[in-house]
Chains A and B, each alone.
Chain A
Amino acid sequence: MLGSLWIIPLLPLIGFGLNLFLGWRKARKSLVTIAGVGSVGLATIAAYWAIIGYLEQPARVIVERYFTWISAGKITVDAAFQIDPLTVVMMAFVTFVGFLIHVYSIGYMHGESDTAYARFFAYMNLFMFSMLVLVLGSSLPLMFVGWEGVGLCSYLLIGFYFEDTYCAMSGKKAFIANRIGDVGFVLGIFATFAVFGSADFTRFLPIAAAHPQQYAGWATAIGLLLFVGATGKSAQIPLYVWLPDAMAGPTPVSALIHAATMVTAGVYMVVRCNVIYRIGPAALLVVAIVGGLTAIYAASIAVAQNDIKKVLAYSTISQLGYMFLGAGVGAFAAAIFHVVTHAFFKALLFLGAGSVIHACSGNQDMRTMGGLRKVMPTTYWTFLAATLAISGIFPFAGFFSKDEILGRTFAAGASNLHGFGWLYYILWFLGITAAFITAFYMFRLVYMTFHGEFRGTEEEKHHLHESPWTMTLPLQVLGVLSIIGGFIGIPKLMTGHASWNLIEHFLDPVVIPLGTGHAAEIAAGVSEHSAGAGIEWLLLLVSLSIAVAGILVARSFYAGEHAFEKPARFVERYPLLYKLILNKYYIDEVYDKVVIQPLYRFARFCWKAIDTIIIDGVIVNGTAFMTELTGDILRFLQTGNVRNYALSVAMGVLLLIVILW
């Protein structure tokens, strides 16, 4: 399979075409299942085949060029795929998690009509294609193909129930928010072409790495522009607003696109372009700050949400913030590590939530759930595993990755990175606080959903059931991964051997060493300037105890006989704060009032005032009117009196004589 990587994304693309055809012919669901899930399954096999092939040979970066995609002047873009450790990691979990979610969808989407079912799998396959192009693409433009492609699929899938205005609107919102980011991304690509002459990763990154000082300024600019794209795609401040609304799509979509894969594309991009960020440290700092702020900001909103998927959505934003925080302090491998573990547990959380929603006949409001533990044990236990993972409880997957990021952030503060040590301490504090909040809201969710007594109607209660095996099997697989997934990145601290941290070791080649004499050498720098083993152990304990504290607070608030009393009192005491958080700090409203409405009004002004009245009315038709008016006045010279005409002729003769004299 290595040597023809193009087969991997092509398979889902074929599945897309087949499903479109099947949907058009209104074919049976089983056929669609074979085409839709089968193609992704084959792609997964192909991907792993390629990965094995890759691991068996010595080269660390292999670029396969197929044909010249765009070539004009100094701009050349090859249609080429690249496989390197980062691609391997991304491709491995994207195909695998993607496949599991496809399997899950068989059960989840079974109630849809034949055409809708085919349409769903068509979109999902198209998404897999785009996502694979994104991770395999060997240059920024090619990455952008996948980048926009996943955005398109996100649009289509969020708006899957297109007859619902909210769904249609949310899809559009997602696309446009992504588009805003994408504009930054393409500008970054243009700048890359202008500065380095190529946007192939294997060309411009080594050039930048070899001359860090020369390119520092441009690298900062490019890094920031690309990061604008990342804020759109990975839902960071200020473009995160689309992700909570994206929950309007079917739940497998939320799991696949809006939790596990697509939204991590931004992190992938930052890590992929780590050289650019490392030589332009201001950009890296921005990444860290945005990540840290997003982490705590989104977590705080999640606390007050009652929609189960909305909680998870804000949780995703918050976790993505962690990843950017990690990338921002130069812990690129840790960021990717968190991407992977997050893919496991967040996909699981969403699928579990989907299972719950499935059981509750589409209801997503946690206030009318409760006690589901007894009815759907598989869902409950797997969900709990994922919750422990995201809360950062040892030895679940999230513990290792999150702790790695926080530890590196603290280390950055300790080593006074870029001279902004205090800032990194603040970021670390934000991160650790967000970890507390995360543990709190996740267990709030668990208690409200699975514990206590069912609070819905009798009819709903009667309908409660465990999901079919196509849905629970992926839950179980992901549950196992959520438990053991963290072991690919056991810190050196625990084992004493750096090589036990498999993922970091594996991703080492991605972080290209910089040329000599650069002050902002981070990759090697931070780990060597770590805060010392004692402090590291302390940090570990702090984050663990913080997580446990969060769980305990949640328990005292939402579990047991006096559940919901404390929160109610809290709301009574701080009504404004509660309202602010419940309404997500009114950011949507602010955007609407400050950006959208003025834009719309301005557009109307352009049309009605500038276009219709000034340009067309006054200038264009005004000219026509003036012409008509002149004629209207001049026609009075036509008296109809022959003698007047004769006089005019005589005067004309006189005039001619005078002129010709």
Chain B
Amino acid sequence: MNPTMIPIPSAWILYLSAVLFVIGAIGVLLRRNGISIFLALELMLNSANLAFASFAFRFAGASATAAHALNGQIFIFFIIAVAAAEAAVGLALFIAMYRRKETIDVDRFNILRW
């Protein structure tokens, strides 16, 4: 990559991250289908990734903090890894749940109540 100026304010990326986070949150809170909730959760994770990216991008621009610029990216890397693990376990859970009740509507799973 060439070290030219990129005229995107880092705030824009953060705004995008915020919007995606809200969309994801609405999805998590308003869907009943377990898999859809999970998808929305992935969206929220990605919005967080985007926020990390934004800061990594900004720190890289200033000489004082340049040394830490990589950390943001490393973090995104780890988040992706964790998300992958989570997806594997989560989906396995849904399969197990489906076996039990023939549905993955989370409102039907409430045996832990009072």
Q: Do chains A and B touch in the complex (CB under 8 A)?
A: yes
Seen from chain A, the residues whose Cβ lies within 8 Å of a Cβ on chain B are: 635-636, 638-643, 646-647, 650
Closest to B25 in A: A650
Interface size of B as a range: 10 to 19
Interface window among B55-63, B65-73, B75-83, B105-113: B105-113
Cα distance, A650 to B37, chains bound together (Å): 14
Q: Would you give the shortest CB distance from B44 to chain A, in whole angstroms?
A: 11
B12: interface (CB < 8 Å) = no
B28 within 8 A of A: yes
> Which residues of B are in contact with A by a Cβ distance under 8 Å?
25, 28-29, 32, 37, 106-107, 109-114
Whether the pair B110, A640 counts as a contact (CB closer than 8 A) is: yes
Q: What are 23 residue pairs bridging A and B, where the CB atoms are less than 8 Å apart in the complex?
A: A635-B114, A636-B114, A638-B114, A639-B110, A639-B113, A640-B110, A640-B111, A640-B112, A640-B113, A640-B114, A641-B106, A641-B107, A641-B110, A641-B113, A642-B106, A643-B29, A643-B37, A643-B106, A643-B107, A646-B28, A646-B29, A647-B29, A650-B29
Q: Given known contacts A635-B114, A641-B113, A643-B107, what 14 new A-B pairs fall within 8 Å (CB)?
A: A636-B114, A638-B114, A639-B110, A639-B113, A640-B109, A640-B111, A640-B114, A641-B107, A642-B106, A642-B109, A646-B28, A647-B29, A650-B25, A650-B29
The CA of A456 and the CA of B87, in the complex, are separated in Å by 113
> Which residues of A lie under 8 Å from residue B114 when comparing CB positions?
635-636, 638-640
Nearest-neighbor residue (CB-CB) of B114 within chain A: A635
Question: Which chain A positions have C-beta within 8 A of B37?
Answer: 643
Residues of A within 8 A of B111 (CB): 640
A643 to B114: give the CA distance in the assembly, Å: 15
Residue of B nearest to A641 (CB): B110
* Residues of the B chain whose Cβ atoms lie less than 8 Å from the Cβ of A636: 114
CA distance A640 to B109 in the complex (A): 7
**A residues in contact with B107, CB < 8 Å:** 641, 643
- B47–chain A nearest beta-carbon distance, Å: 14
Q: In the complex, what residue of chain A is closest to B41 when comparing beta carbons?
A: A646
The answer for the CA separation of A383 and B35 in the assembled complex, in Å, is: 116
A639 / chain B contacts, CB cutoff of 8 Å: 110, 113-114
CB distance from B112 to the nearest CB of A (A): 4
Secondary structure type dominating chain A contacts: helix
Q: How far is the CB of A20 from chain B (nearest CB, A)?
A: 69
CA distance A636 to B114 in the complex (A): 6
A639 CA to B106 CA, complexed, in Å: 12
Given the contacts A646-B29, A650-B29, A638 and B106 also touching, CB distance less than 8 Å: no
What residue of chain B has the Cβ atom nearest to residue A632's Cβ?
B114
B-side contacts of A635, CB under 8 Å: 114
- Nearest residue, chain B, Cβ from A637: B114
Distance to closest chain B CB from A448 (angstroms): 88
CB distance from B23 to the nearest CB of A (A): 14
Chain A residue contacts of B113, Cβ below 8 A: 638-641
- Closest CB in chain B relative to A583 CB, distance in Å: 71
Residue of chain A at shortest CB distance from B109: A642
Rounded to whole Å, the gap between the CB of B28 and the closest CB of chain A is 6
Residue of A at shortest CB range from B28? A646
A638 in contact with B112 (CB, 8 Å): yes
User: What is the CA–CA distance of A642 and B25 in the complex, to the nearest angstrom?
Assistant: 14
Residues of A contacting B25 with CB < 8 Å? 650
Of all chain B residues, the one with the shortest Cβ separation from A634 is: B114
Q: Report the bound CA distance from A569 to B67 in whole Å.
A: 129
* Residue in contact with B32 in the complex, picked from A638, A643, A647, A650, CB distance below 8 Å: A643
Residue of chain A at shortest CB distance from B30:
A643
Residue of B nearest to A642 (CB): B106
Least CB distance, A641 to chain B, in whole angstroms: 5
- Once bound together, how far apart are the Cα atoms of A641 and B107, in whole Å? 6
Max chain A C-beta neighbours (<10 A), residue from B25, B37, B109, B114: B114
Beta-carbon nearest neighbor of A640 in chain B: B113
How far is A501 from B105 in the complex, measured between Cα atoms in Å? 118
Q: How far is the CA of A117 from the CA of B28 in the complex (A)?
A: 95
Q: How far is the CB of A651 from chain B (nearest CB, A)?
A: 10
List of A residues within 8 angstroms of B106 by Cβ = 641-643
B17 to chain A, nearest CB (A): 15
Q: Which residues of A contact B110 (CB under 8 A)?
A: 639-641
> Nearest B residue to A636 by beta-carbon distance?
B114
**Closest CB of chain B to A656's CB: distance in Å?**
15
User: How far apart are the CA atoms of A460 and B112 in the complex, in Å?
Assistant: 91
A638 to B109, CA, bound (A): 13
B114 → A minimal CB distance (Å): 4
Contact residues in B for A642 (Cβ distance below 8 Å): 106, 109
A183 to B44, CA, bound (A): 82
Query: Which 3 residue pairs across A and B have the least CB separation, nearest first?
Result: A640-B113, A640-B110, A640-B112
A571 and B20 alpha carbons, distance in the complex (Å): 115
Task: For the complex formed, measure the closest distance between the CB of B29 and the CB atoms of chain A, giving whole angstroms.
Answer: 6
Docked Cα-Cα span, A636 to B113, in Å, equals 8
The answer for the CA separation of A641 and B108 in the assembled complex, in Å, is: 8
CB nearest to B108 among chain A residues: A641
Nearest Cβ in chain B — how far from A647, in angstroms? 6
A643 to B25, CA, bound (A): 11
